[in-house]
Amino acid sequence: MAKAARDPEERIRERNMRLIIKAGIEIFARKGFDGTRIAEIAEASGLPKANVYYYFASKEEIYKAIISHLIASWDDALKYISPDREPAEAFRLYIKAKLDYTRKNTAESRLFASEIIQGARFLKKKDRDHMRQVTDAHVAVVEGWIAAGKMLPVDPRHLFIMLWASTQYYADFEPIAADGLKKPRLKAEDYETAAITITETILKGILPASAQRS
Amino acid sequence: MAKAARDPEERIRERNMRLIIKAGIEIFARKGFDGTRIAEIAEASGLPKANVYYYFASKEEIYKAIISHLIASWDDALKYISPDREPAEAFRLYIKAKLDYTRKNTAESRLFASEIIQGARFLKKKDRDHMRQVTDAHVAVVEGWIAAGKMLPVDPRHLFIMLWASTQYYADFEPIAADGLKKPRLKAEDYETAAITITETILKGILPASAQRS
DNA sequence: ACAAAAGCTGACCAAAGTGTCAACTTTCTT
DNA sequence: AAGAAAGTTGACACTTTGGTCAGCTTTTGT
């Protein structure tokens, strides 16, 4: 009764909030929560500072909005680990999808990394629980594969950590990754090579057949 | 002539600078460069703020001092990749040493990660060049092993990125790693299991012999 | 057309931050 | 012992920052 549900005028609001969020992702990623100034976000989004405050009550609110949105957007890349797939195929797709997401969302990836390094102060329990559940499901699938003799008996949890680490590194630590590859900047083809190397290494290891089972 | 070289009175200076650096590592790691306040460093080191400024001219100077010291301290862990070793042994030792260093120096590790994520603004060219050289040397060794048929033909640079990523993750993203392992905090034994899993996976892969060479 | 709702923003604070300094105490050196 | 050098620090100056607000303009529903 009091506040009628409207719709069309959601346009301006939507657009400006998107601009703020977009600028926020970039700057929070680079400076961390404490290091970010809203004046900078305002400038980057082309809005006056007071206008930013018209949409968000505080710096923390912008930050939290970004984090939650980010976690939700991950699930897509993670749908490949499912029991009806062969491990080789599943991991290949998983690694490719994760690297793809990372390459196309470097700022988000870095923002998340920044939040974790700084102690996961604003990562809500709900989000953590969600991540834990997804992991548990994946672990169960891998354990099934191991029981079926389709995989060697690796610790599934450490294995997933390896995959998270290896795929995120290219975005989070791009300057170092680029130096390591002797390139000025990473390009799409570098992500391709990364996908191949990670997949091959994970699946077959680096030792030739003659040296296996030592 | 002007400034005589002394020694014994280096004590107080040394001690206080160490206290400041130690506190700085912890706080810079958590807050990043922009997010860190010297008042906080002062408090954590038990010195009044003005005293901190007696030893360091600026926040930047403290930060740079830490970064340089940190890079130098890495080389020890990296001495295992040498041509007179067998790959299996070399990688096992490398992974163990890197994880050991990471576990014992989590704050430094995070500080470096933070610096890189924030754009490597204070990482000196000299330090980057040094890292590049070490990497080049390692790559050459691996290429030798591949040429000798001791390793499968993997891209050595991406392989090293995998190793850097996998070993650093446990310190840099500890909350996530702990969640992934279903533990409240990481302990020494988790680093042990990590070393085993990473080593086994890198060397042999995860597929059983029957599924190899598909 | 017009009132109400939504959107906008320059100007303004109070708090917090970096860095300075002059005066004081402690620690050498001889 | 006493002058010099090193170390200490409360108080201060100046800047930046998060956040507010009153009054303005634009958009929208009827």
Closest partner CB to B201 (pick from A128, A162, A180): A162
pLDDT tens-digit readout, A138-158: 999 999 999 999 999 999 999
- CA nearest A120 in B: which residue? B175
Between CA A51 and C1' D13 the distance (Å) reads 32
Over residues A25-31, mean pLDDT:
94
> Average of pLDDT values for A119-136?
92
Query: Does pLDDT of A66 surpass 50?
Result: yes
Contact state of A206 with B203 under an 8 Å Cβ cutoff? yes
Which nucleotide is closest to A49, CA to C1'?
A: C9
d(CA A58, CA A63): 9
State which residues between 173 and 192 of chain A bring their CB within 7 Å of strand D. Answer: none
The DSSP-derived string for chain A is --S----TTHHHHHHHHHHHHHHHHHHHHHHHHHH--HHHHHHHHTS-HHHHHHH-SSHHHHHHHHHHHHHHTTGGGGTT--TTS-HHHHHHHHHHHHHHHHHHTHHHHHHHHHHHHTT-TT--HHHHHHHHHHHHHHHHHHHHHHHTTSS----HHHHHHHHHHHHHHHHHTHHHHHHHTT-SS--HHHHHHHHHHHHHHHHH-SS-GGGS--
Percent of all residues in chain A with a pLDDT value above 90, rounded to a whole number = 81
Interface contact A172-B113, CB threshold 8 A: yes
Distance from CA of B128 to the nearest CA of A (A): 8
A136 neighbors B140 (Cβ within 8 angstroms):
no
Closest-approach nucleotide to residue A14, Cα vs C1': C7
pLDDT of residue B3: 32
Residues B211, A20: Cα–Cα separation, whole Å: 50
| ipTM given for this complex | 0.88
Does the pLDDT at position A102 exceed 50? Answer: yes
Alpha carbons B208 and B205: distance in angstroms, whole number: 8
Contact positions of strand C to protein Cβ (< 7 A) = 6-11, 16-22, 27-29
Residues of chain B with pLDDT under 50: 1-9, 214
Enter the tokens of residue A55: 């949409």
Distance A190 CA to C21 C1' (A): 55
Q: Which amino acid is at B130?
A: H
pLDDT at A81 over 50: yes
The 3-class secondary structure across chain B, one letter per residue, is: CCCCCCCCCHHHHHHHHHHHHHHHHHHHHHHHHHHCCHHHHHHHHCCCHHHHHHHCCCHHHHHHHHHHHHHHCCHHHHCCCCCCCCHHHHHHHHHHHHHHHHHHCHHHHHHHHHHHHCCCCCCCHHHHHHHHHHHHHHHHHHHHHHHCCCCCCCCHHHHHHHHHHHHHHHHHCHHHHHHHHCCCCCCHHHHHHHHHHHHHHHHHCCCCHHHCCC
Work out the percent of chain B whose per-residue pLDDT is above 90: 80
Domains of chain A with bracketed CATH: 10-65 (1.10.10.60), 73-205 (1.10.357.10)
- pLDDT surpasses 50 at A132: yes
Q: Which residues of A touch B106 (CB under 8 A)?
A: none
Give B141-145's long-range contacts (Cβ < 8 A, gap of 24+): B141/B81, B141/B82, B141/B83, B141/B90, B142/B81, B142/B87, B144/B83, B145/B83, B145/B87
At a 7 A CB cut-off, the residues bordering strand C are A 3, 6, 9, 12-13, 16, 47-51, 53-54; B 6, 8-9, 11-12, 36-39, 49-50, 53, 57-60
At residue A213, does pLDDT exceed 60?
Answer: no
How far apart are the C-alpha atoms of A82 and A90, rounded to whole Å? 7
Q: What percent of chain A has pLDDT over 70?
A: 94
Q: How far, in Å, is the CA of A37 from the C1' of nucleotide D16?
A: 10
pLDDT for res B1: 31
Strand D positions within 7 A of protein Cβ atoms = 6-11, 16-22, 27-29
**What is the average pLDDT value for chain B, to the nearest integer?**
91
Quote the pLDDT of residue A10.
57
Which single residue is written with the structure tokens 């994970």? A202
pLDDT recorded at residue B213: 55
Tell me the average pLDDT across A64-91: 87
pLDDT of A72 reads 79
Distance B10 CA to C22 C1' (A): 25
